[in-house]
């Protein structure tokens, strides 16, 4: 009996990292993700009246737009978290609004590259393909110990020389 207890204790000691991963996986699968508000936001550029913060303010009737008109290729939004977070998904509302008639008034992102930066400085990317439709679009976006998220526009719907790329809202979900 004492030998069995010692063997089980030794096994538990060596398996503790795997047990932690199993616990984290189970918690991710069974708990409801919480909204994660970034502590700071910025953009590569901002049109007058359409600052980066508008894309993270919780309202889909205000939007971020870059300073220059056109497709916005290479323009980005960036969000920082003061405390590392475990991301599970992102919701993006492209365009100027969730209302169809307002949505079509400016260019909308069709392809976005998301870059996640961890507390150790490691980076990973994920390509997102958006639909040209008004309203929220949800994407799985998994990352651990994330402190920064950058969303870079790679292509756009409805781009013209007299229109700017627009993003009404970006929301992150996961755990702190």
DSSP 1: -
Of 73, 61, 68, 66, the closest CA to residue 169 belongs to 61
Rg, Å, the chain Cα set: 20
Q: What pLDDT, on a 0 to 100 scale, did the predictor assign at position 41?
A: 98
Q: What pLDDT, on a 0 to 100 scale, did the predictor assign at position 2?
A: 72
| Whether residue 20 is found in the same domain as residue 72 | no
Q: What pLDDT, on a 0 to 100 scale, did the predictor assign at position 119?
A: 97
Domain coverage including residue 41: 34-175
Residue 163 is part of a domain; what is its CATH number? 2.60.120.260
Instruction: Find the helix or strand (DSSP H, E) in which 47 lies.
Output: none
| Whether residue 44 is found in the same domain as residue 59 | yes
| Whether residue 83 is found in the same domain as residue 13 | no
pLDDT over threshold 80, residue 169:
yes
Mean pLDDT score, 126-138: 97
| Whether residue 21 is found in the same domain as residue 64 | no
**26 or 140, greater pLDDT:** 140
| Whether residue 81 is found in the same domain as residue 97 | yes
Q: What pLDDT, on a 0 to 100 scale, did the predictor assign at position 116?
A: 98
| Whether residue 18 is found in the same domain as residue 67 | no
What is the CB neighbour count within 10 angstroms for residue 68?
Answer: 14
| Whether residue 147 is found in the same domain as residue 78 | yes
Residue 83 sits at the vertex; the CA angle it makes with 81 and 86, to the nearest 5 degrees, is: 80
| Whether residue 170 is found in the same domain as residue 122 | yes
| Whether residue 38 is found in the same domain as residue 120 | yes
| Whether residue 82 is found in the same domain as residue 151 | yes
pLDDT over threshold 70, residue 65:
yes
pLDDT over threshold 90, residue 11:
no
| Whether residue 61 is found in the same domain as residue 137 | yes
Total domains, the chain? 2
CA pseudo-torsion sign 153, 154, 160, 162: positive
| Whether residue 2 is found in the same domain as residue 83 | no
Mean pLDDT score, 92-118: 96
Q: What pLDDT, on a 0 to 100 scale, did the predictor assign at position 4?
A: 76
């Amino acid at each position: 009996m004492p030998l069995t207890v010692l063997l089980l204790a030794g096994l538990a000691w060596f398996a503790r990292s795997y047990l932690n991963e199993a616990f984290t996986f189970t918690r991710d699968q069974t708990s409801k993700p919480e909204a994660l508000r970034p502590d700071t936001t910025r953009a590569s550029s901002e049109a007058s009246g359409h600052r980066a913060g508008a894309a993270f303010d919780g309202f889909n009737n205000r939007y971020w737009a870059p300073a220059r008109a056109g497709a916005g290729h290479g323009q980005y939004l960036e969000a920082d978290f003061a405390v590392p977070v475990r991301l599970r998904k992102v919701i993006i509302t492209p365009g100027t609004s969730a209302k169809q008639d307002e949505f079509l008034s400016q260019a909308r992102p069709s392809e976005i590259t998301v870059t996640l930066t961890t507390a150790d400085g490691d980076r990973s990317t994920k390509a997102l393909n958006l639909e040209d439709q008004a309203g929220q679009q949800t994407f799985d976006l998994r990352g651990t110990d994330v402190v920064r998220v950058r969303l870079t526009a790679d292509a756009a719907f409805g781009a013209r020389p007299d229109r700017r790329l627009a993003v009404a809202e970006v929301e992150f979900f996961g755990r702190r």
